[in-house]
């Protein structure tokens, strides 16, 4: 069987539509002819591509665009925090700030109290002079005027 003969029968060969004798003849030729084997592979590739394109129904007009825009919208929605979450976050920050401020105020009150107690102790044990306050910090200046004399 010549290459030309095989080429005319390849399609029927792939579809198993040849007689037993023809199938055998084509198969024998293919075993020895690289060029016809290449043709056979090309034919099978084209067949499977055509079959795939027939099996996949085309998408309705605009469906792909609508799906993509819906997915984009969903992405944007999930990327942006919800107003409720923003409000909760703000509330947590406000409470934390409030706690921080009141804690600082307590620390200031404690410092003040310790200072006053210290002055009172010094007053009881020493003669001290308390000025109106430091010009820069405003903190009262306590000076022991008779330090060491009891
Ligand atoms: Zn051949």
Q: Residue 133 domain-assigned?
A: no
Q: Residue 118 domain-assigned?
A: no
Quote the domain boundaries for residue 7. Answer: 3-57
pLDDT tens, residue by residue, 68-124: 888 888 888 777 777 788 888 888 888 888 888 888 888 888 888 888 787 777 666
Q: Residue 42 domain-assigned?
A: yes
On whether the CB atoms of residues 47 and 14 are closer than 8 A, the answer is: yes
Cα-to-centroid distance, 128 and ligand 1 (Å)? 121
Q: Residue 148 domain-assigned?
A: no
Q: Residue 66 domain-assigned?
A: no
Contacts of 43 (CB under 8 A, 6+ apart): 10, 11, 14
Q: Which of 64-73, 128-137, 141-150 has the largest mean confidence?
A: 64-73
Cα-to-centroid distance, 48 and ligand 1 (Å)? 22
Q: What is the pLDDT of residue 16?
A: 92
- Report the domain count for the chain: 1
Neighbours of 6 (CB within 10 A): 23
pTM reported for the whole predicted model: 0.37
pLDDT for residue 64 is more than 60: yes
Q: Residue 86 domain-assigned?
A: no
Nearest 10 degrees: Cα torsion 118, 123, 129, 131: 50
Q: Residue 44 domain-assigned?
A: yes
Cα-to-centroid distance, 14 and ligand 1 (Å)? 15
Q: What is the pLDDT of residue 144?
A: 64
Cα-to-centroid distance, 44 and ligand 1 (Å)? 16
Cα-to-centroid distance, 49 and ligand 1 (Å)? 24
Helix orientation angle between 20-32 and 3-14, rounded to the nearest 10 degrees: 120
The token pair that represents 118 in the structure block: 């210290």
Q: Residue 19 domain-assigned?
A: yes
Coil vs helix vs strand at 118: helix
Cα-to-centroid distance, 32 and ligand 1 (Å)? 8
């Amino acid at each position: 069987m010549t290459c030309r003969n095989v080429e005319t029968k390849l399609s029927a060969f792939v579809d198993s539509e040849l007689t037993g004798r023809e199938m055998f003849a084509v198969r024998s030729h293919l075993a020895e002819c690289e060029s016809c084997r290449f043709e056979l592979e090309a034919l099978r590739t084209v067949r499977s591509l055509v079959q795939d394109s027939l099996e996949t129904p085309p998408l309705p007009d605009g469906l792909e665009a609508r799906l993509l825009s819906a997915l984009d919208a969903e992405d944007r929605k999930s990327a942006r925090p919800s107003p409720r979450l923003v409000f909760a976050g703000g509330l947590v920050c406000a409470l934390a700030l409030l706690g921080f401020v009141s804690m600082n105020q307590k620390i200031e009150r404690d410092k003040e109290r310790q200072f006053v107690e210290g002055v009172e102790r010094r007053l009881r044990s020493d003669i001290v002079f308390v000025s109106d306050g430091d010009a820069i910090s405003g903190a009262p200046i306590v000076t022991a005027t008779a330090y060491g004399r009891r």
